[in-house]
Amino acid sequence: MIVRFERWGAWVKTETVPALVALDRDGVRALGLDGGAVWREESHEASPPIEVHLAVTSRCGAGCEGCYLDAKADGVEPPKATIERALDALAEAGVFTVAFGGGEPTLRDDLGALAEAARARGLAPVVTTSGLGLGPRKIEQLRAFAQVNVSYDGAAEAYENVRGFDGSAAAETAIAKLAAAGIKVGVNVVLTRKTFAMTKATIRRAASLGATEVQLLRYKPQGRARSLDYLAKRLSAPQAGSLGALLRELAAEHEGRLTVRIDCALVPFLSADPELAARPKDLQRWGVLGCEAGEKLGATRVDGRVAPCSFTAVTALHVEQLASGWSREPSLAPFRAYAAAPPEPCASCTLRDVCKGGCKVVSDYATGGIGPDPECPRVRAHATSAPHAP
Amino acid sequence: MFSRRNGAALDDRREGPFANPRDVTPDQCLIVRLGHGANCSSVGSVVDTLFVGATVGGAILAAVCAAMKHEPVTVVRQRPAKDSTVADGADKKSEST
């Protein structure tokens, strides 16, 4: 297991039971370890991220109409040595998980070697792929990853609604082939207004093909999705308010067979679920993370520039300076400051410490800056009830 | 100062000043994030554990605690003490690997 000391104890990444645990100081001492200098210092610098999303190419010919990075067929592919230096930097900073993305990562012929390079540095490599064009040779390259997720928004109509073309057959084939090859495979399901009602069917289909995990994703207004079309694709208020109930049903249906995840941007919607909103300690305990942009999460683009998350603008920080520059990069400060002290209605929300104020990408789209997530049910209710200035 | 990158591990923790480690207890686990996840754009969190009963939840926590007891340790991102004198066990151990 890998241990990274923190002021409050340590992050501990276990392998036999794949998990990342925040252990308090007594727990660390119980392991026979001591935080040494980290525990003695009075530093309040931001710790490095625990997870970094690494764009290994900006090439992708799929042309998804909502691509958040506006990836294109003639995109950039950094040399292998450049990616290896980035992996060195992530390892030096004490990052635990590196999520390879793009563009379409499987377009790289050296993808398997890069995953091995990540493992050699003690990082857990994972990857997301569209599954398009995934033949036997590429599948073999994916064996080096701890997990592979295939973008799968549902059968024909649902897939096409999210991406603008029907690639569902290729995605389904990829899921089945990966599972047959013994590779741990999950699916990423983007939720939109038209596809939300199909979510249960989509997950049943993915599970029948061999997927063991599903991650539900909020559609976000960035890249090619940063347009007026976003307003028609985003979840409706009733759909957002029913997310907690949907998760409860999915957990019951797939218990023990398929793990259900949600992305950070969906966490605000849990505030509409009275039962979950009353259990913030449980959400914290089970590691539910809201907006961790610039805190526990970081991202890098193909030019090596670091961003708070994959959807936000890049900073001046280069990944090769991550260990020394993460805590001091000024562009990250507003994200951290907002999460630490959000205004109402976030300030009095029971889920505040989990949610961290909702998705900043959505607030930036709607208001031009960091603010309360305008699609959060609690924020919607607050806006409706608040007195308006004359 | 930095122990993970060459593949070395601090697997000698049951000797010296940290002999006889105890079991980690579930209440010492402030946060437990299960699995790897594999999304490249946004951070994902397991939520089905929110709906399991106390027995299942307790079994998961017990399994994680047991894993911590038995797996060899590698410490990353070590920092030297500001006074730069060789300090306590953690620093000394990492230097030795």
pLDDT tens-digit series, residues A282-313: 999 999 999 999 999 999 999 999 999 999 99
- Asked if residue A301 and residue A160 are part of one domain, the reply reads yes
- Measured between beta carbons, the chain B residues lying within 8 angstroms of A254 are 48
* Beta-bridge partners for A14: A19
Please report the beta strands in chain A, taking only residues with DSSP state E, as ranges in sequence order.
2-6, 9-14, 19-24, 51-55, 97-101, 124-129, 147-151, 185-191, 213-218, 259-263, 297-300, 306-307
Task: Yes or no: say if A319 and A306 are a contact pair by the CB < 8 Å rule.
Answer: yes
Residue A388 has pLDDT above 80, yes or no: no
The CATH number that applies at residue A277 is: 3.20.20.70
- Asked if residue A150 and residue A275 are part of one domain, the reply reads yes
- Asked if residue A105 and residue A70 are part of one domain, the reply reads yes
Q: Check B41 against A92: CB less than 8 A apart.
A: no
How far A383 CA sits from the closest chain B CA (Å)?
A: 27
Q: Check B76 against A186: CB less than 8 A apart.
A: no
- Mean pLDDT over A35-52 rounds to 92
Tell me the C-alpha distance between B33 and A375, whole Å.
Answer: 26
Residue A203 forms contact with B (CB below 8 Å): no
SS3 B53: coil
- Asked if residue A123 and residue A18 are part of one domain, the reply reads no
- Quote the domain boundaries for residue A11: 2-40
- Measured between beta carbons, the chain B residues lying within 8 angstroms of A274 are none
Interface test with A, best of B39, B56, B61, B79 (most A CBs within 10 A): B39
In a domain, A18, yes or no: yes
Query: What strands lie across the sheet with B29-34, from one edge to the other?
Result: B29-34, A19-24, A9-14, A2-6, B74-76
- Asked if residue A10 and residue A61 are part of one domain, the reply reads no
- Residue A387: DSSP 8-state: P
- Asked if residue A35 and residue A145 are part of one domain, the reply reads no
Write out pLDDT tens, residues A110-131: 999 999 999 999 999 999 999 9
- Measured between beta carbons, the chain B residues lying within 8 angstroms of A146 are 36, 38
Spell out the domain ranges in chain B.
Answer: 16-95
Tell me the C-alpha distance between A113 and A116, whole Å.
Answer: 5
In a domain, A339, yes or no: no
Q: Check B88 against A297: CB less than 8 A apart.
A: no
- Asked if residue A90 and residue A22 are part of one domain, the reply reads no
Write out pLDDT tens, residues A68-83: 888 889 999 999 999 9
Q: Check B28 against A27: CB less than 8 A apart.
A: yes
Residue A20 forms contact with B (CB below 8 Å): yes
SS3 A237: helix
In a domain, A99, yes or no: yes
Nearest Cβ partner for B71 among A1, A68, A259: A1
Write out pLDDT tens, residues A129-170: 999 999 999 999 999 999 999 999 999 999 999 999 999 999
Give the number of domains in chain A. 2
Tell me the C-alpha distance between B75 and A95, whole Å.
Answer: 12
Q: Check B49 against A5: CB less than 8 A apart.
A: no
- Asked if residue A173 and residue A64 are part of one domain, the reply reads yes
Write out pLDDT tens, residues A341-350: 999 999 999 9
How far B20 CA sits from the closest chain A CA (Å)?
A: 7
Choose the weakest-confidence range: A216-220, A372-376, B41-45.
B41-45
ipTM score assigned to the predicted complex = 0.94
In a domain, A217, yes or no: yes
Last residue of a domain, one of A291, A325, A359: A325
Q: Check A127 against B40: CB less than 8 A apart.
A: yes
Which residue of chain A comes nearest to B18, CA vs CA?
A32
